[in-house]
Amino acid sequence: MKITIREYREADYAACRSLYGELAQHHAEIYEDPSIAGDDPGRGFDVCLKRTDRRGSWIAECHGRVVGFAGLLDVVGQQSVAEIEPLVVTAGVRDEGIGSDLVGHIRSEAKKLGFKFLSVRPELRNERAFQLYVRLGFTLVGGVELFQDLAPDRGRTWRSGIEILGQKLNY
């Protein structure tokens, strides 16, 4: 599969918004919470484009079709730290190396821009994404985001199996 990585253009808007919708829907499914996707799952892409900390956006294209999208953010308040956000590959072509290609491209761009660290915050239940990032060298933990379920009556199921600093956590 021949993949081309190039900068995002306005003509890519509909395809990338659809990809973002796929991501939101996937997160809604893995967290058993339809409100994550809501009535307009692609709306997060509009927010993504308006971010003032966005340093670049790239798409992966195969045979003229947009099959992936990724962005690079300048982490505000943390000198020399960039973040990959989002990274989306359409379901039909996952496991073809597209995510790896996008991450490699972003890594190069971040270096060119003078960043010293590149971070990513995958959803833990998105196990394939988590495993991809670890395989690509994201093996340092810079921080942990902890949550408390304020609406346990919604019937969410939390998985066990993570231990950090001797503390057993659910995800």
Amino acid 153: pLDDT: 80
| Contact between 148 and 158 (Cβ < 8 Å) | no
State the chain's mean pLDDT as an integer.
Answer: 94
**What domains can you pick out in the chain, each with its CATH number?**
4-145 (3.40.630.30)
Amino acid 80: pLDDT: 93
Pairing outcome for strands 160-164 and 117-120? unpaired
Amino acid 79: pLDDT: 84
Question: What's the CA gap between 25 and 35, in Å, rounded?
Answer: 9
Query: Is the preceding omega at residue 41 within 30 degrees of 0, hence cis?
Result: no
The Cβ of residue 138 has, within 10 Å, a number of other Cβ atoms equal to 17
Amino acid 156: pLDDT: 79
Question: What's the CA gap between 40 and 48, in Å, rounded?
Answer: 14
Q: Using DSSP, state whether 44 is helix, strand or coil.
A: helix
Confidence of residue 164 (pLDDT cuts 50, 70, 90): very high
Mean pLDDT for the stretch of residues 53-64:
96
pTM of the model: 0.90
For the chain, the maximum distance between any two Cα atoms, rounded to a whole number of angstroms, is: 49
Confidence of residue 77 (pLDDT cuts 50, 70, 90): confident
Note the pLDDT tens digit of each residue in 122-150: 998 999 999 999 999 999 998 889 999 89
> For residue 133, what are the CA distances in angstroms to 77, 146, 151?
23, 20, 31
Note the pLDDT tens digit of each residue in 7-41: 999 999 999 999 999 999 999 999 888 999 999 99
Instruction: Indicate if the pLDDT at residue 48 is higher than 80.
Output: yes
Question: Tokens standing for 145?
Answer: 């985001």
